[in-house]
Amino acid sequence: MSNVIAIIMDGVAYGMLLFLSAVGLSVTLGLMRFINLAHGAFAMGGGYLAVVLVDAGLPFLLSLPIVFLAIGAAGIAIERAGIRHLYRRTALEQVLFSIGLALALGALANLVFGPQQQAIQIPSLLSGRVTVLGLEIARYRLFLIGMGAATAITLVCLFEYTLFGARIRAAVDNRRAAEGIGIQVERLFAVTFGLGAGLAGLGGALSVEMLGLDPAFALKYLTILLMVVAIGGAGSIAGSLQAALVLGTVDALFKYFLPEAGGFVIFGLLVAVLLVRPSGLRGRAA
Amino acid sequence: MTLLKDSGLAVGPGMRLPISGATTLLFAALIASGFLFPNHFALATQILVLMIFALSYDLLQGHAGIVSLGHAVFLGLGAYSSAILARAGLTDPLLGLAVGAAVPALIALVLSPIVVRGNDFTRLLVTLGVASLVYEAANRLRDLTGGADGLSDFEVAPLLGLFAFDFEGRTGFIYALATFFLVYLALWRVTNSPFGMALRGIRENARRMPAIGSPVARHLAVAYLLSGAVAGIAGALLAQTSRFASLDMLGFERSAEIVMVVTLGGNGHLAGVGIGAAAFGVVKDALSTVSPRYWQLGLGIVLMASVFLARGGIGGIIERLSRRRQP
């Protein structure tokens, strides 16, 4: 029984990583209708930046906010330089541009850091295990769950209770009307894109310890990030969280108890959800 | 003939044969390449396979406007079915080609109801999801597919019972070349038929097509099926000429690559897509032996730039040139 709970904790921690990395993708798709296949590359960039910072002697916990800000700024720069011209283009053009970006960034990572796996030094405070209610749980898993939960709460508050959030919701529901009442949708898009990229970078930095990091990271985790968005529904923060937790837990449970089923369950789940609810479980708009 | 007309595949009176300058040049270059580079039959054959695969996907993306991130599934299914057939003792290459086309066509028929519905994003996901499922399945069914090792322990009988597949790959090259010509002409015929016009209409505006009485879902299903069958032919050809069928033939990289090839070649322009695929194959072979990392970096940059600069790809450039010549 305690075994099962440990596996579920593993799955929830994995789900939180997925949530952090996917929530930006969900918002860009819901708000800007932009299919960003390079989103995994932002996570990868965050991972590498964290590795570099920690290697340079910076404490792990201090490197996290720096990664968030740096990758967020990079996201805004890329949005202003290229992606904003593609909002009204076809899905195919968006896919090509973002796959190209993901490939180029992956190749760049390979040139700079080499093809090998990267490791990161996490502080002793976060390593090892801790006993909670008679259960042994890895501290880093608990830390991930805490980070994910804190981010989710912050984002929900930001989107539901602030003026910024109200503007974003207005722009999602009806862009023309939002522009008509003086909301600067262009600037909103850039800031939101940067926020999503920064969160993905944070997710990437946090996942080095659990999932590893190599130049193939961006494309390897792209599919599951897209699945989080598809199942959760584009533009929905709560939906992304639920979908990420479900996918993470299901994946962990099946990997442990029924490894032969492998990826089948996850992909089967995706196809089934899309058949029944093409716009996701909590989709606002498709 | 009336039957043909009713089926919507007849060539109308005002329709020119596909002997445009670009097409003639393409065919001539292909035949010449066999004579010019007698030591590179294997590479030339692989490029022909890539060209057939690109043509199959062009029917879907270029003509019908369906973007798929899992088209390599059909290439892989074609390769595996012909290889499995050959292992079972049925080694005739043409039979393998037929089965290699039939199996993917059948799978496409099953999948089409879930692929043709939905918007671009759900299509991307469903094709990606199905591709991942098929990849997992092929990986698990080790007895049938050889798992990660692939299948290489099969023979291919002489073509038409006369021409054995030689070590140099000459027979394989001529076989692939002939298949390419036939596929090219067949697809030219299909895309210039009323059915092809309807597909382009759906691409331009899927909402208005039902208003003029066009059965959108059925047309898309037929396009998907044809596209799957042709991709399967490419796969069977690949397996027979390289004596190998492996997991990477149905992997994501192949699927993403073909989206790029068709777009760079020019959506919906058969000659452009053919030339684009050939150029891609040559450049990839040359660069990836030098340095795969720089190849990937360059490819990414070209893709990003192509969205802004070369709209219409190689096909678009051909169109502009030929229009300038005849005002």
Number of neighbours of residue A220 by Cβ within 10 angstroms = 16
Residue B235, in any domain of the structure = yes
Tens of pLDDT, residue by residue over B26-68, are: 777 777 776 666 677 778 888 888 889 998 998 888 888 888 8
Q: pLDDT band for A69, please (50, 70, 90 cuts).
A: very high
User: According to the model, what pLDDT value does residue A71 have?
Assistant: 95
Strand, helix or coil for residue B245: strand
% of chain B surpassing 90 pLDDT: 7
Residue B143, in any domain of the structure = yes
Looking at the partner chain, which of A110, A219, A270 has a beta carbon nearest the beta carbon of B129?
A: A270
Torsion over CA: B288, B294, B299, B300 (sign): positive
CA atoms within 13 A on the CB side of A141: 20
Residue B171, in any domain of the structure = yes
Report chain B residues whose CB lies below 8 A from the CB of A103. Answer: 296-297, 299-300, 303
Determine whether the interchain pair B259/A102 forms a contact, defined as Cβ–Cβ distance below 8 Å: no
The residues, any chain, with a CB within 8 Å of residue B323's CB and separated by 6 or more, are none
Contact by Cβ (8 Å): B155, B209:
no
Strand, helix or coil for residue A129: strand
Residue A85, in any domain of the structure = yes
Residue A79, in any domain of the structure = yes
From residue B118, give the alpha-carbon distance in Å to each of A29, A38, B124, B140, B199.
Answer: 16, 23, 10, 30, 17
Q: What is the pLDDT averaged over residues A206-225?
A: 85
User: According to the model, what pLDDT value does residue A74 have?
Assistant: 95
ipTM: 0.79
User: According to the model, what pLDDT value does residue B197 have?
Assistant: 81
Determine whether the interchain pair B121/A262 forms a contact, defined as Cβ–Cβ distance below 8 Å: no
Residue A242, in any domain of the structure = yes
Tens of pLDDT, residue by residue over B100-136, are: 888 999 988 888 877 777 677 778 877 887 888 888 8
From residue A223, give the alpha-carbon distance in Å to each of A196, A286, B36.
Answer: 17, 18, 43
- What is the tally of structural domains in chain A? 1
Residue B63, in any domain of the structure = yes
Residue B233, in any domain of the structure = yes
Determine whether the interchain pair B119/A29 forms a contact, defined as Cβ–Cβ distance below 8 Å: no
Residue A285, in any domain of the structure = no
pLDDT at B76 over 70: yes
Number of neighbours of residue B253 by Cβ within 10 angstroms = 10
Looking at the partner chain, which of B122, B293, B306 has a beta carbon nearest the beta carbon of A96?
A: B306
Residue B143, H or E segment: helix B142-145
Higher pLDDT, B327 or B250: B250
Report the chain A residue with the minimal C-alpha distance to residue B256: A99
Residue A138, H or E segment: strand A135-138
Report chain B residues whose CB lies below 8 A from the CB of A270. Answer: 125, 129
Quote the mean pLDDT of chain A: 85
User: According to the model, what pLDDT value does residue B297 have?
Assistant: 86
Residue A211: which domain range?
Answer: 2-276
Residue A41, in any domain of the structure = yes
Residue A198, in any domain of the structure = yes
Determine whether the interchain pair B120/A108 forms a contact, defined as Cβ–Cβ distance below 8 Å: no
Determine whether the interchain pair B122/A286 forms a contact, defined as Cβ–Cβ distance below 8 Å: yes
Tens of pLDDT, residue by residue over A75-89, are: 999 999 888 888 888
Residue B147: which domain range?
Answer: 34-250
Q: How far is A267 from chain B (nearest CA, A)?
A: 5
Instruction: Give dist(CA A25, CA A21) in Å, integer.
Output: 8
User: According to the model, what pLDDT value does residue B216 have?
Assistant: 78
Torsion over CA: B85, B86, B90, B93 (sign): positive
- What is the tally of structural domains in chain B? 1
Residue A194, in any domain of the structure = yes
Contact by Cβ (8 Å): A234, A277:
no
Strand, helix or coil for residue A146: helix
Report chain A residues whose CB lies below 8 A from the CB of B306. Answer: 96, 100
Annotate A54-65 with b (16+ C-beta within 10 A) or e (fewer).
beeeeebeebbe
Q: pLDDT band for A281, please (50, 70, 90 cuts).
A: low
User: Which CATH number belongs to the domain containing residue A54 in this structure?
Assistant: 1.10.3470
Residue B100, in any domain of the structure = yes
Instruction: Give dist(CA A227, CA A17) in Å, integer.
Output: 14
Residue A286, in any domain of the structure = no
Determine whether the interchain pair B293/A95 forms a contact, defined as Cβ–Cβ distance below 8 Å: no
